[in-house]
Amino acid sequence: MNERRLKFWGWGWEGESATDAEVDHLKRTYGAALKVGSFPDIPPPAEDEFKLPIPRLSPPDSLAAICSGDPYTRLAHCMGKSLPDAVRMFNRQAPHVPDIVAFPESEEQVSALMDWAGDEGAALIPFGGGSSVVGGVEPIVDDAYKGTITLSTVRMTGVVEVDKTSRAACIRGGTRVPDLEAALKPHGLTLRHFPQSFPMATVGGMIATRSGGHFAMLYTHIDDLVESTRTVTPAGIMESRRLPGSGAGPSPDRFIIGSEGSVGIITETWLRLQDRPVYRANAAAWFDDFYKAAEAVRAIAQSGLNPANCRLVDAAECQINGVSDGSCHLLILGFESAHADVSTAMARVKELVADHGGDIGDGGNAKDAVDRWRMAFIRMPYFREIITPWAILNDTFETSITWDRLPDFHRKVMDATRTAIKDATGQDGIVTCRFTHVYPDGPAPYFSLHCKADQARMLDQWNIIKSAASDAVIDNGGTITHHHAVGRDHQPWYEKQRPILFGDAYRAAKQTLDPAAIMNPGVIVN
Amino acid sequence: MNERRLKFWGWGWEGESATDAEVDHLKRTYGAALKVGSFPDIPPPAEDEFKLPIPRLSPPDSLAAICSGDPYTRLAHCMGKSLPDAVRMFNRQAPHVPDIVAFPESEEQVSALMDWAGDEGAALIPFGGGSSVVGGVEPIVDDAYKGTITLSTVRMTGVVEVDKTSRAACIRGGTRVPDLEAALKPHGLTLRHFPQSFPMATVGGMIATRSGGHFAMLYTHIDDLVESTRTVTPAGIMESRRLPGSGAGPSPDRFIIGSEGSVGIITETWLRLQDRPVYRANAAAWFDDFYKAAEAVRAIAQSGLNPANCRLVDAAECQINGVSDGSCHLLILGFESAHADVSTAMARVKELVADHGGDIGDGGNAKDAVDRWRMAFIRMPYFREIITPWAILNDTFETSITWDRLPDFHRKVMDATRTAIKDATGQDGIVTCRFTHVYPDGPAPYFSLHCKADQARMLDQWNIIKSAASDAVIDNGGTITHHHAVGRDHQPWYEKQRPILFGDAYRAAKQTLDPAAIMNPGVIVN
């Protein structure tokens, strides 16, 4: 069987990349925006360009059939899809390659792998879609571990049961979002939770990392869609009861959601589903002033109307993504429903936009901008492999903040990031902001940065910028991540944000479930 | 200062009770429904009818001013407001009276009390509104403890800060709901979270017990309104960051929400608020068949319209509360908004009701029924002190269940409860059901039972019925509580429901925060 393979060195599946037209567009964009004049063509790495260390572990006979030590497989599981990951791949650097990659097909095999790792003194690194942009899947462990085993969940797939009455489904943890949607479609149902990583993302991975999805309001995080979880830990199986709501003690699901593989592998879950939308209304509005636009978003977020789409994209981000000429800020609005006309709600939102100085414009103008934005959102991850050889750093970070602090927070984070770019590279870069999700009490601002780096110093330069941006987010009251997860990259700032005693309590809880500390060391618990 | 005092033996404040008209109504109701013929008049207990044990503890000088050992205070903190609590009070039984009741005014005093309890080997029982109906505040501890200290939070009150922009407020944990609403009103804001216990309930107590509030959909539990928490634990203070949303590891707030005093005292919280509603639409519908009515509720719950009120009250519950003649089931519907007309949404919900065979009736009929239901809901807790001397058991229990299992679940729980009443009392009782909250994936059914007991055996008879009902809930897949909390009464069933490993993990976490195990022993962690 010729299985489709994920690129080991970049985003998506083998054979997928930016189109020639997109590459031309990127050249024009960065030529204009960053005065980049040369676009060196460095081919992506090949497997044989990496000299991999000999695996330090050898699986027992009972597990050999589900374990692989072949170079492609080890390389494909040695890091995620972050900017430094791409830089290192183009540098032909893979400093932390798992000794073994295991593909269990059952919970029994997951348990057996945990037992083996415990016996060997090896670390076990959970791997779902592998789309981490925060170092969540890279097997970086200290010398106390005798080796690393990456546990891929992608052979534990499928929809076990669909409950149309309650609009929920029992899904195995390794199921990828497109496969899930295909399985739900005949039932007229959809999860309708589409992170940017959706081509690869797995259900278990989304729960482990508290992913953010399609809905700008209400059902923002996967958290809200989880009805129950089933997790294999080194100490055994932890399964919560399927319930629409409960008040019986602290939520066991909320303990697992966001655990990022630090206590176990989410093998099964009941998720709440949506009917496929029938009624839709979309609009876009233009604003001259970002903070006035933010005030409009606040009014909408506090109106109780809960649009499915309410995304504010600042002018610079519109421009660099080819959405507009960058003269105005764009607010994308959408309602959808399977059951009721949404035009009244959209009319009310348009009033709020107009009240706050937004220009709803004509339908065509708005529709084009929204379509262009949507396409940019989907295609963006594929551009990293194009621009990394050009020594262009394009990274993102995201957070949330209450409305009262937004203007000051936004200015300080933008300034700190711009200053760090200048400090690190000696040149001005571009920093942009959009809101990915909004709440009645505040937005989730998502920042993008673009700058020209030095080919030989890209990692160092990125580190300087990432550190400064993370400091600014934490020092000014934000969260180190709204939906990208903690991973190894955010762990130092996460520890500043997390209540110290909660960290202590979680560490004790982990000790109970993972007494040999084999599960994803360095993530959540350090 | 003549402070208003809570009744030590019943619901509400001293001087409050059922009116003569209500007592007459109760006599007629139970005379007809349970063939009760005699209504003995047992006066409520007086303080001097209890012989209290001499306090085993004596506070250090530094804490003496905030500690009380007087009989009223000890009696007022010796149990909650459940049915067995009322029975025992009328029996002049107070088997577990705290040795000392402390009223700290600051976090420093809370910490000092914890230190003292730890040094003495005493248990510390948190006490907010004291409205627990699940044994959550009764100082029942084993002989390993040298005594019991009840820590009342009601002198740590007030709104510290209002953030109108983000619609949130920082509130001290002991603030009662009516006082909170009074403080928010000048700002045009409201928490709009009104459990049945609202006259007494404190903000910290609601968070600790995951209370259920005003909204039938969306913002059902206080959980959804918590922006951050600040908790004093024996190991120190745990404070989460104020954030509209976060994806940084497992939620520290969700660890505290539902902890029921087992790890600390919630001294402060930022809560999300609502604008005061301006637009309203209310309606009521009648159904001949309960399960058809439930199907209508399901359609509404899955419509995305999210009414603020969507409460199905079965015919028997309507009848015994004087809402109607009991020939039909009542569905109460309401929309409210501060910002937009809600008539379109109500019109669509009415269509869904009609589609499912509901009779919307005329406006007057509906309004009367809704008003009567609302009054019954508010006044109900005051009736326990009237009917307990009559040896009438009227208790409630509540749960949630997914829609697919609802009909079978409902039948089995109703049957098991009816059978248990017959077994325990030798007579038929009445069991009714309403939905207090609904979710797209299932309702939260709330059961009430009414039966004639034997004066001398009321506690035993209640125990038989409560056990059978709890068994039925757990055996058939429900949660032991949707919003009444776990307390000591539900702990055995909670342990059946809770994933064993989550219990182990939570126990380890508690050990970290409360190493001397002084906090509310027997609740959540046994």
Q: What is the largest CA-CA distance in chain A?
A: 70
> In this complex, is the C-beta atom of A479 within 8 Å of any C-beta atom belonging to chain B?
yes
Beta carbons of A524 and B348 less than 8 Å apart:
no
User: How far is the C-alpha of A359 from the C-alpha of A329, rounded, in Å?
Assistant: 10
Phi-psi label, residue B326: left if phi above 0, alpha if psi -120 to 50, beta otherwise? left
Chains A, B: CB pairs < 8 Å: 298
Answer yes or no: do B400 and A243 touch at CB < 8 A: yes
Average of pLDDT values for A272-283? 95
Nearest-Cα residue of chain B relative to residue A441: B166
Q: Between A238, A249, A340, which is nearest B494 by CB?
A: A249
Distance from CA of B270 to the nearest CA of A (A): 11
Identity of the residue in A242, A247, A505 whose CB atom sits nearest the CB atom of B485: A247
Mean per-residue pLDDT for A228-236? 98
Please tell me if residue A487 touches chain B, with a CB cutoff of 8 Å.
no
**Distance, in angstroms, between A419 CA and closest chain B CA?**
26
Record: contact B244-A442, CB cut-off 8 A:
yes
Residue B7 has a pLDDT of 96
- The span from the CA of A272 to the CA of A506, in Å, is 27
Question: pLDDT per residue over B288-345, tens digit each?
Answer: 999 999 999 999 999 999 999 999 999 999 999 988 899 999 999 999 999 989 999 9
Checking if the pLDDT of A52 tops 70, the result is yes
Which of B251, B243, B299 lies closest to B270 in space, CA to CA? Answer: B243
* Position A372 confidence tier, pLDDT thresholds 50, 70, 90: confident
Q: Which residues of B touch A107 (CB under 8 A)?
A: none
Closest CB to B479: pick one of A246, A497, A509: A246
Nearest Cα of chain A lies from the Cα of B493 at a distance, in angstroms, of 10
pLDDT at B373: 85
Q: Which of A226, A97, A203 is nearest to A154 (CA)?
A: A203
pLDDT tens-digit readout, B228-285: 999 999 999 999 999 999 999 999 999 999 999 999 999 999 999 999 999 999 999 9
Q: Say if A410 is an interface residue toward chain B (CB within 8 Å).
A: no
CB A240 within 8 A of CB B499: yes
Q: Quote the CA–CA distance of B392 and B383 in Å, as a whole number.
A: 11
- The C-alpha of A291 sits at a distance from chain B's nearest C-alpha, in angstroms, of 13
Residue A491 touches partner B, C-beta closer than 8 Å? no
pLDDT(B465) > 80? yes
d(CA B460, CA B468): 12
Tokens in use for B21? 């008209």
pLDDT at A364: 60
Cross-chain residue pair B479–A247, CB shorter than 8 Å: yes
Interval A317-329 mean pLDDT: 92
Q: State whether A501 and B235 contact (CB < 8 Å).
A: yes
Q: Which residues of B touch A508 (CB under 8 A)?
A: 508-509, 511-512
pLDDT bracket for residue B374 (50, 70, 90): confident
Cα–Cα–Cα angle for A276, A279, A280, nearest 5°?
A: 100
Q: How would residue B1 be classed by pLDDT, with cut points 50, 70 and 90?
A: very low
Q: Which two tokens stand for residue A437?
A: 């999700």
**Residue tagged 């029992």 (tokens):** A170
Give the residue carrying structure tokens 């065979």.
B357
- Please name the residue ranges forming H helices in A58-162: 61-64, 71-76, 83-90, 107-120
Number of residues that this document lists for chain B:
526
ipTM confidence: 0.97
Mean pLDDT, residues B63-67 taken together: 98
Q: Does B213 touch chain A (CB under 8 A)?
A: no
Q: Is the pLDDT score of A362 beyond 90?
A: no
Is B502 an interface residue toward A (CB < 8 Å)?
yes
Chain A residue numbers touching B517 (CB-CB < 8 A): none
Average model confidence (pLDDT) for chain A? 96
CB-based contact, A513 to chain B, within 8 Å: yes
Mean pLDDT across the stretch A233-240? 98
A380 φ, ψ to 5°?
A: -45, -50
Residue B401, chain A, CB below 8 Å: the answer is: yes
Residues in B touching A235 (Cβ below 8 Å): 501, 504
Q: What is the percent of chain B where pLDDT is above 90?
A: 94
Which residues make Cβ contacts (< 8 Å) with residue B195, sequence separation at least 6? Answer: B177, B201, B206, B211, B212, B213, B483
- Answer yes or no: do B241 and A509 touch at CB < 8 A: no
Q: Give contacts of B 63-82 with A, CB under 8 A.
A: none
Residue pair A6/A130 in contact (Cβ under 8 Å)? The answer is yes
Which chain B residues touch A220 with a CB distance below 8 Å? 245
% of chain B residues with pLDDT over 70: 99
Interface of A with B in 1-40 (CB under 8 A): none
Using the Cβ of B508 and the Cβ atoms of chain A, whether some distance falls under 8 Å is answered with: yes
Q: Which of A245, A505, A509 shows the shortest C-beta gap to B444?
A: A245
pLDDT digits (tens, 9 = 90+) for A6-31: 999 999 999 999 999 999 999 999 99
Asked whether residue A3 carries a pLDDT value surpassing 80, the answer given is: no
Cβ neighbours of A444 in B, within 8 Å? 244-245
Calculate the dihedral angle through the C-alpha atoms of A247, A253, A258, A262, rounding to the nearest 10 degrees.
130
Contact B499 A401 (CB under 8 A): no
Across A50-59, average pLDDT: 97
Q: Does position A361 have pLDDT exceeding 80, yes or no?
A: no
At B148, give phi and psi (nearest 5°).
-130, 135
β-bridge pairing B148-152 and B100-102: parallel
With 70 as the cut, is the pLDDT of residue A363 above it? no
- Chain B positions touching A484 (Cβ under 8 A) are 247
SS3 at position B108 = helix
Are B231 and B237 within 8 A, CB to CB? yes
Please indicate whether, in this complex, the C-beta atoms of A509 and B508 are within 8 angstroms of each other: yes
Scanning A217-236 for CB atoms below 8 A from B yields: 218, 220-221, 223, 227, 233, 235-236
pLDDT band at residue B363 using 50, 70 and 90 as cut-offs? low
Q: What is the mean pLDDT of residues B166-179?
A: 98
On whether any CB of chain B is under 8 Å from the CB of A298, the answer is yes
**Contacts of residue B196 in chain A, CB cutoff 8 Å?**
none
Residue B56's pLDDT band (boundaries 50, 70, 90)?
A: very high
Q: How far apart are CA B158 and CA B156, in angstroms?
A: 7
CB contact under 8 A, B244 and A340: no
Cβ-defined contact of A246 to B504 (cutoff 8 Å): no
- Which candidate from B400, B490, B502 shows the least CB-CB separation from A238? B502
Residue B416 pLDDT > 60: yes
B443 touches chain A (CB under 8 A): yes
Which residue, among B300, B497, B54, B339, has the nearest Cα to A239 in the 3D structure? Answer: B497
Report residue A1's pLDDT band, with 50, 70 and 90 as the boundaries: very low
> pLDDT digit string (tens) for A390-425?
999 999 999 999 999 999 999 999 999 999 999 999
Residue B487: φ, ψ to 5° = 60, -165
Q: How confident is the model at residue B87 (pLDDT cuts 50, 70, 90)?
A: very high
Contact predicate A96/A127, CB 8 Å: no
- What does chain A come to in residues? 526
- pLDDT, residue A2, reads 55
Q: What is the dihedral of CA A403, A408, A414, A416, to 10 degrees?
A: -130
**Is the pLDDT score of A519 beyond 60?**
yes
Q: A278 in contact with B at a CB cutoff of 8 Å?
A: no
Q: Which residues of A touch B440 (CB under 8 A)?
A: 166-167, 244, 272
Q: Does B276 touch chain A (CB under 8 A)?
A: no
- What is the nearest CA distance from A182 to chain B, expressed in angstroms? 21
Chain A residue numbers with beta carbons less than 8 Å from the beta carbon of B509 are 505-506, 508-509
CA distance to partner chain A, nearest, from residue B165 (Å): 5
Residue range A77-129, pLDDT digits in tens: 999 999 999 999 999 999 999 999 999 999 999 999 999 999 999 999 999 99
Element containing residue B412 per DSSP (H, E)? helix B406-425
Check A247 against B165: CB less than 8 A apart. Answer: no
A19: amino acid identity, one letter: T
pLDDT score of B447 more than 90 = yes
Average pLDDT over chain B reads 96
Between chains, do B509 and A508 touch, taking CB under 8 Å as contact?
yes
How wide is the angle at C-alpha B127 spanned by C-alphas B124 and B133, nearest 5°?
115
Closest chain B CA to residue A347: B340
Contact A441 B212 (CB under 8 A): no
Give how far A142 is from chain B: nearest CA, Å. 22
A259 SS3 class: coil
- CA angle, residues B439, B440, B442, in degrees to nearest 5: 60
